[in-house]
Amino acid sequence: MRVAIYPGSFDPATLGHMDVIERACQVFDRLIVAVLVNRAKKPTFTTRERMDFLRRMVRDLPNVEVTSFDGLLADYARQQGAQVIVKGLRGVSDFEYELQMALGNRILNPSVETVFLMSSDKYICLSSSMVKEIAYHGGDISGFVSPQIIPDVMARFAQNAGKNVKQRG
């Protein structure tokens, strides 16, 4: 059984993330979407919220499960019995960072292989931080996130209006 982990901050998950999930779950028998608890980055959405958003998005994909992890991805992959780490590549700007991570993870856990999947060209310029900026200004995020989570994402920014919004992630 080929088990893959798709890790990320997912703060919040976008249609680009969903595109990678849909591709990966066709290639692997079991896909674990693993949300980084991410204490250092102070995410906009709690771990529980980010997992809940993803669970709503993957409800119709039976071989996908959503978990969270803290610490090193290489250790979590070992613990989950995963042979593969899946990462999405949007373009060359992602590559250098992803190469570093893949090589680091290979040293930490030589039995795990990183596989890159290209998201659809529609999502090449899409990021969670772009979604947050649009939501912060009350814009229409329906082209960027799944319909199941739009009201909750918008509600967070209505609630936060006037406060600072994280720009990266």
Q: Which residues are catalytic?
A: 17, 41, 90, 128
Nearest to 125 by CA among 133, 115, 113: 133
As to burial, measured by CB atoms within 10 angstroms (0-12 exposed, 13-18 middle, 19+ buried), residue 104 is middle
Least distance CB 62 / ligand PNS (angstroms): 24
Of 77 and 135, CB closest to ligand PNS: 77
Structure tokens of 63? 């071989």
Of 72 and 158, CB closest to ligand PNS: 72
Taking CB under 6 A as the criterion, the residue among 5, 66, 73, 145 binding ligand PNS is 73
Bridge partner list, 140: none
DSSP, residue by residue, 34-54: EEE--TTT--SS-HHHHHHHH
Interacting span for ligand PNS (CB under 6 A) from 49-57, 101-109, 112-120, 144-152 = 101-109
Of 76 and 136, CB closest to ligand PNS: 76
89 part of the interface to ligand PNS, by CB under 6 A? no
Taking CB under 6 A as the criterion, the residue among 14, 47, 105, 146 binding ligand PNS is 105
Least distance CB 105 / ligand PNS (angstroms): 5
Q: How many CB atoms lie within 10 A of CB 28?
A: 21
As to burial, measured by CB atoms within 10 angstroms (0-12 exposed, 13-18 middle, 19+ buried), residue 118 is middle
5-64 residues in contact with ligand PNS (CB under 6 A) are 7-9, 36
For ligand PNS, the binding residues (CB under 6 A) are 7-9, 36, 72-74, 101, 104-105
